[in-house]
Amino acid sequence: MPAFGPVNRRDLIRYLHACGFEGPYSGGRHQFMARGELTVRIPNPHHAEIGRGLLSVILREAEIAREEWESL
């Protein structure tokens, strides 16, 4: 039941797990999570939350609709 807004990295990973993603796995400069052939880059850990704009990009790459995100 996350609102579409700022989210911290730990919660983002937890919600992506709920959507069937596995990981995070180490990759070049960023970690990533995978579901089948689909991979999504995860922002590096920082002390700030992930904003709405970046969250929107991540969900688009993950092929997760806003309604699905808000229903978690």
Q: Report pLDDT digits (tens) over 14-66.
A: 999 999 999 999 988 999 999 999 999 999 988 899 999 999 999 999 999 99
CA dihedral angle for residue 38, residue 61, residue 20, residue 53, rounded to 10 degrees = 160
The per-residue pLDDT for 34 is 98
The per-residue pLDDT for 28 is 87
Beta bridge partners of 32: 25, 41
The per-residue pLDDT for 40 is 96
61: number of Cβ within 10 Å: 13
Q: Is the dihedral of CA 11, 16, 19, 23 positive or negative?
A: negative
